[in-house]
Chains A and B, each alone.
Chain A
């Protein structure tokens, strides 16, 4: 359990640095460090499928962010924050923190499964009859591609639509840029 607290402290420090620093490159690298800490936490919670996906998508997202920020020559954030906005956001965060303490007292300890004590939950069926019914040794793959394949279809549709939207919008700008004459 101590490793979870260490990783949590690491992610919190990286998040504070990402917000407070004035250099854009440092801020982007700290966002990448938060994703890396999250992937380590998934690994220690015994979920290797999510850990693989998290680390690879986070590296790709980091590359996109670096390309988007370093292309400008203004890589420093200059200016002060306004006082009233900061006070209001601190008050809201404090209220949510107080409510959160009350809620999190009723949950199980971190990393312990909730449905292991309910004997007729759906997860018990997946564990007992997963290999027999689907033939897949990886129970996670049998859940996302056989028992709950409809959710995977929804996720694939969302990804497809997002990529098509981004490609159409950016292609129109790129074509117009390629066609205009050099000044």
Chain B
């Protein structure tokens, strides 16, 4: 890619990443949530991959690291759900932080509110971002050429 694309994309990638983190963390106050924010996180790495090539990005966030982040996100979501079994009404996915500790306080529109909902948003955002980055990385390794021989 040309010098203009490389320079601009190295400045803009930080803004896109920050915007994705903002959408995830404020998911219980403004529209967005874990899924949309996770896709935005993945697209910042896709911008890097299109501008600089696959090897540059693979040195930064390689395939084993991305798949481990994906698994950590899924396990975190399941762990948040399982801890609900030990409190109060003892049901799966019980919003224990809200019902036990925050129910009497007035935390309507603050950042620290709504119990386990922001934590679930962070877990899902991590999982979706790592998953989509993994798919695009693997798809760019395997790209068939028309003459029948596959290129790297």
A interface vs B, CB < 8 Å? 48-49, 52-53, 56-57, 59-60, 63-64, 67-68, 71-74, 131, 133-138, 140-142, 144-146, 149-150, 152-153, 156-157, 159-160, 163, 166-167, 170-171, 173-174, 177-178, 183
A163 engages B134 (CB within 8 Å) = yes
Cβ–Cβ contact B131 & A145, under 8 A: no
Contact partners of B51 in chain A: CB under 8 A: none
Cα A63 to Cα B14 with chains together (Å): 20
Q: How far is the CA of A133 from the CA of B36 in the complex (A)?
A: 25
In the A-B complex, list the 5 residue pairs whose CB atoms are closest, starting with the nearest.
A136-B114, A48-B31, A149-B93, A136-B28, A135-B114
B65 at the interface (CB under 8 A from A): no
Binding site for A on B (CB under 8 A): 23, 27-33, 35-36, 39-40, 42-43, 46, 50, 63, 67, 70, 74, 77-78, 81, 92-93, 95, 98, 102, 107-109, 113-117, 120-121, 124, 127-128, 131-132, 134-136, 138-146, 149-150, 152
Whether A153 contacts B36 in the complex (CB less than 8 A), given A60-B43, A136-B114, A177-B152, comes out as no
